Structure 1
Amino acid sequence: MTSFFSSTIAGVPRIGANRELKFALEGFWSGQTSGRDLSHTATLLTNAYADQLVAAGIDSVPTSGRSYYDAMLDTTALLGVFPERVQDISDHENDGLPSFIDRYFATARGTAEAPASAMTKWFDTNYHYLVPELSAETRFILDDAALLTDIKNQLTRGINARPVLIGPFTYLSLARTTDGSDALDHLETLFTVYERLLAKLPTQWVQLDEPSLVTDVSPELLARVRAGYAALAARGGVFVNTFFGAGDQALDTLAGIGLGAIGVDLVSDGVTDLDAWTGEELLVAGIVDGRNIWRTDLCTALATLRRLQARGPVAVSTSCSLLHVPYSLAPENINPEVRSWLAFGEEKITEVAALARALAGEVDEALFDASAAALADRRHSGLTRAQNQQVSPADRERGEFGRRQAAQDKALNLPPLPTTTIGSFPQTAEIRSARAKFRKGSLTQAEYDEAMRAEVAD
């Protein structure tokens, strides 16, 4: 029988606290470093984050293995459904990297012959994912060697690892088709593929992320999802996680079919009744906000968790993956008063562990008192009041248009149709060189600014 866990987080960031994966990728793409270097960096990051969670007291550690770009693209690779235009790219034989890595990066970045896949926002976040491209003729062929290797590595290290995968319904609901067909026509087939995959995973628990279950879904489609998960549930230890919205619809769909756990977001739309949950499954309560940077109201959160625990088994988690928040407050140099209000990724992990211990009867009084004090201070802070008092009635009124236009023309000297970018320009070798010199102090601020202007003009 699968044993319940008490604390976890919904998902982990990939990039590294100091953007180590970004720099490793750029080195590999430019040919300055090897595949083994890139693989080594990804392994170090994956292991370090798992170790951090264990040290904090998290007893079920989420892992997606070594991810080099995006979770949806990882799923595309896992299912063997890269776009047709990159399928002829040969397997990569470089040391340490998955065999599909060249097709993977071609899908993400494009080549001279094959454009990259589209990117779009991951639900209502600013994170962007690679959109899968399917057709009526798509055939799913599992390519799970890299994932299984990474999971076994964590188990060998003594980590109570839990693989985290995009669920079949969400994957298909976010896919596009190249022939006008409906990607969800593949739903039953894909559930069968996942059934084979889950049978291979050597872990007690496996997490399937289904944020699409909090969106507007037809009753007919929900019935198909329920049937698919009823089949997967026979494996044992299947944890379906939802986020970015209230989990009532997901519970209505998934409760009572034999799943090991169901995860709900208790932050985005507040705590709802969760009437469909009867206590048969472990309820993974996403009570620590994974999207904002504020400390959790630990006292209120604990009261909510205790009410839920009276109905059945509960584990404490974040409302979503922590890839949406900064890593840690440790390197930040900010006003101490403001700092006391904040919780980044590392601090949210501490909050999850503290709530789980408190739910088991071990309350960290100092931490809970600090949480309450910070919340009260933030609500009644003199900082905001002082800023508001500096605003005069004149600040709320626009100046006369002609004067504003003349001042802007003089200060900015913009062309008739000015253009800008959303996001940053690509970093050329010249830009990187100028940045490095500026950081070392061999370029002044004025010289650096002029170098950037020249690059923009070019």
Structure 2
Amino acid sequence: MTQKFTLSNLGYPRIGKNREWKKTLEAFWAGKLDEAAFRSEMETIQLQHWSAQKEAGIELIPVNDFTFYDHVLDTAVMFGIVPPRYGYGGGEVDLDLYFAMARGNAEATASTMTKWFNTNYHYIVPEIGDQTPRLTTNKPLEAYRLAKAKAGIEGKPVILGLYTFLKLSKGFPASELPKVAARFLPVYIQLLQELKQEGAAWVQVDEPAIVTGLEAAEIKLLESIYGEIAAAVPGLKLLLQTYFEAAEPLEQLLTLPVQGLGLDFVHDGGANLAAIERLGWPADKWLGAGVIDGRNIWRADLDDKLALVGKLAALVPAEQLILQPSCSLLHVPVTVQGEDKLKDAVRQALAFADEKLAELSLLGAVLNGGSREALAESRAALAAFRALPERRRQDVAQQAETLQGQRDWRGLPYAERLPLQRQKWQLPLLPTTTIGSFPQTVEVRQARLKWRKGVWSQERYDGFIRQQIEEAITIQEELGLDVLVHGEFERTDMVEFFGEQLDGYLFTRGGWVQSYGSRCVKPPVIYADVAYVKPMTVKESLYAQSLTKLPVKGMLTGPVTILNWSFVRDDLSREEVARQIALALRHEIQALEEAGIEMIQVDEPAIREGLPLKAKDHEHYLNWAVRSFRISTNQVKPTTQVHTHMCYSDFNNMIDSISAMDADVISIETSRSHGELIASFEERAYDKGIGLGVYDIHSPRVPAVAEMAANISRALRVLDPQQFWINPDCGLKTRGWPETIAALRNMVAAAEEAREQVSAGVR
């Protein structure tokens, strides 16, 4: 092939090679930077990102993929969509208000935060209501101008499409979607007209909601939206971009009046290619072919990619074929440079954002007439990695085989376990607890760093952790909590901690990705078979329990969350890897129980985010995800109380699967969603213990007793007090001790108030 293939990117990691973005953001929040300095430093980071992509040979470089917090929040404030509780008076939204919507302030709670499709990125949910949108500022236009003026780049503005923006929003019934879209369409058209007038050639319109499935009415709405845009903004080339799954039905999408359609050819299960082979491709439309995996961190098999592009080039005019990642590179770290602690065979198999762009450039060079010998290094690296013996362990395979004849559930059903557990634990009505972690102070982080660097001995570090546990137990007893936790001071991260002690994992030095706001995580990497080595949590749990007569929960992260919050090997199914993790955790749970820790929390906050985007695939995923949890927990005694926790996800449509996990107690976030989840319990009964988080730990504000009491009261209208637990909505790791103590004191007071009301017959 000698024709020119265009190279494009869909989005670049915001956080910077050394997390400069995070540090700038937190310095501004802490008052260490004024607004002018903050904006200047953020601009510098953007310019660095554009420069990196330009040097990689990317021709269509995205602009406006950068944000100060979240791109969905950006879209909302750009259109003046601000919840009334913030007292917004119109005009451009200033930074104080912008961050208040994301984090809350003394006067108003934060907006709901939930997962971006089936990823671990969180977005701020727009609250539309009856607000009239208006273009308060044209952020894509500002980014386009900046890139042109200071980076010499004719950028490709990226906007969140109207259909997806509204599908991700709340504050109106689904039946009103066409009417709400009609309200927003004029401001979208105004935004695009201004981009065209400025000279933008291409605009990337992200519409990932398309891949979740389209009904006839939704197809009609898309036709209406893009038909009006085409009529109002002729000559502007729109690339309608989908990702994360197959875009179906492709027949109708190909008729939309846009100049290009972006499709994911990595995570589509082959459906997009099959559809193009069946339907053909319009001669007047560009194809944005997502051929490099934007969500995982493994080097691509470029021979396979060449074969894929060859098939596409036989169907699509080569001069209208755009090669790009499968989605924004937001979901991967910036660069493998600096990962010098990994064995060569593993390091050379990794590809972060910069390496993925280099792969794209290499692929383009070969396709545009270069020699395939340029791929020799890539082939050798993949061959060495695939040959590693730890990727095919016989003992792990044999353990998986033993599951075939074992029971899938606990020895006794919940209804029979419950009286035994009540007799054993003797807890009060509406028992109070926390989710697990307590503040990771500067002192805790510094102590861990000194230990990791060898400055502190193991003995000194263990003594420090014991001291932290002692203080946490004392605080919890003084506050009057009923079920305690040890605080997890020894853990950097709820997944990394376990990965460090299991075989089959590796850890990067700079593999950070954004989770929400300035919160960055460094996902562990599953590169080989996962296997149990030795007890991981028994020492700290036992020590905490020795300090109090109250029950202390053993704390684990569940198999599906460990899977979903890791970068996972791509040569096995996710189901198979989850089963390996579940078997390893089973050993740890048995070790806790044998040591006398018989209240054990196995957290699964990420079980919802792994849900496939198409409804037809939900049942299969939920079956194996739930079974993975039960594999971990189903061997414990009937009197051992199993807890689990889930946060920041829409669980309304999977209550039955949650029940099937067979945990004795589950805690779920409800504070940010303002009790919306409670409505699901008005429609269907839940038969096990449940704690609905009564305050939002991701906001620095301390909610009043009355506010928490109102959340409890709402829940007790639909839940039996005998099954209801009272807890925050997530762990307290990111909070400071003063606000943590104040909030928990108010929570205990709200619980006592609720007990009195229940005893008096008031609910």
> Offset at 1:259?
1.7
> Offset at 1:261?
1.4
Provide the secondary structure at the position in 2 that maps to 1:177: coil
1-structure distance, mates of 2:34, 2:260: 41
Kept in 2, the 8 Å contact 1:12–1:323? The answer is: yes
Kept in 2, the 8 Å contact 1:46–1:65? The answer is: no
Structure 1 position 329 matched with structure 2 position 345: no
TM-score by length of 2: 0.52
Residue 226 of structure 2: aligned partner: 229
2-structure distance, mates of 1:190, 1:363: 50
2-structure distance, mates of 1:205, 1:65: 14
Gaps in structure 2 of 5+ consecutive residues = 411-424, 476-763
The amino acid that maps onto 1:220 is A
Q: Which of 157, 161, 164 is the aligned partner of 1:163? A: 157
Alignment of 1:306-317 (within 5 A): 306-310=310-314, 311-312=316-317, 313-317=320-324
Residue 238 of structure 1: aligned partner: 238
The amino acid that maps onto 1:449 is I
Structure 1 position 134 matched with structure 2 position 132: no
Cα 1:180–1:261 change in 2 (3 A) is: closer
Cα 1:434–1:76 change in 2 (3 A) is: farther
Structure 1 position 301 matched with structure 2 position 305: yes
> Offset at 1:430?
5.4
2-structure distance, mates of 1:340, 1:437: 30
Provide the secondary structure at the position in 2 that maps to 1:132: coil
Cα 1:418–1:299 change in 2 (3 A) is: farther
Alignment of 1:76-225 (within 5 A): 76-88=76-88, 99-135=93-129, 137-156=130-149, 157-177=151-171, 182-201=176-195, 202=198, 203-225=200-222
Q: Which of 294, 302, 307 is the aligned partner of 1:290? A: 294
Kept in 2, the 8 Å contact 1:288–1:352? The answer is: yes
The amino acid that maps onto 2:18 is N
Kept in 1, the 8 Å contact 2:81–2:131? The answer is: yes
> Offset at 1:372?
2.5
Residues 379-416 of structure 1 show CA distances to partners (whole Å, capped at 9, x for unaligned) of 3332324x546998799799xx9xxxxxxxxxxxx999
2-structure distance, mates of 1:8, 1:80: 31
Residues 332-373 of structure 1 show CA distances to partners (whole Å, capped at 9, x for unaligned) of 12111111222111111111112222222224623x223333
> Offset at 1:15?
1.6
Gaps in structure 1 of 5+ consecutive residues = 92-97, 402-413
The amino acid that maps onto 2:155 is A
Cα 1:452–1:144 change in 2 (3 A) is: farther
Cα 1:356–1:189 change in 2 (3 A) is: farther
Structure 1 position 339 matched with structure 2 position 347: yes
Provide the secondary structure at the position in 1 that maps to 2:157: strand
Residues 311-348 of structure 1 show CA distances to partners (whole Å, capped at 9, x for unaligned) of 22211111111111121111212111111222111111
Provide the secondary structure at the position in 1 that maps to 2:7: coil
> Offset at 1:140?
0.6
Cα 1:389–1:337 change in 2 (3 A) is: farther
Provide the secondary structure at the position in 1 that maps to 2:289: strand
The amino acid that maps onto 2:15 is I
Superposed CA RMSD: 3.3
Kept in 2, the 8 Å contact 1:286–1:316? The answer is: yes
Residue 269 of structure 1: aligned partner: 268
Residue 612 of structure 2: aligned partner: none
Cα 1:427–1:151 change in 2 (3 A) is: farther
Cα 1:302–1:393 change in 2 (3 A) is: closer
1-structure distance, mates of 2:152, 2:32: 34
> Offset at 1:114?
0.5
2-structure distance, mates of 1:229, 1:253: 12
- Counting matched residue pairs gives 430
> Offset at 1:82?
1.4
Residue 24 of structure 1: aligned partner: 24
TM-score by length of 1: 0.84
The amino acid that maps onto 1:343 is A
1-structure distance, mates of 2:262, 2:216: 21
Kept in 1, the 8 Å contact 2:13–2:333? The answer is: no
1-structure distance, mates of 2:280, 2:87: 44
Kept in 2, the 8 Å contact 1:57–1:353? The answer is: yes
Kept in 2, the 8 Å contact 1:293–1:342? The answer is: yes
The amino acid that maps onto 1:382 is P
> Offset at 1:64?
1.1
Kept in 1, the 8 Å contact 2:64–2:139? The answer is: no
2-structure distance, mates of 1:139, 1:377: 58
Alignment of 1:249-268 (within 5 A): 249=249, 251-268=250-267
Structure 1 position 375 matched with structure 2 position 382: yes
Provide the secondary structure at the position in 2 that maps to 1:51: helix
> Offset at 1:163?
1.0
2-structure distance, mates of 1:428, 1:393: 40
Provide the secondary structure at the position in 2 that maps to 1:246: coil
Query: Whose Rg is larger?
Result: 2
Structure 1 position 281 matched with structure 2 position 264: no
2-structure distance, mates of 1:237, 1:16: 30
1-structure distance, mates of 2:396, 2:269: 35
1-structure distance, mates of 2:48, 2:70: 19
320-329 vs 428-437, which deviates more?
A: 428-437
Structure 1 position 360 matched with structure 2 position 368: yes
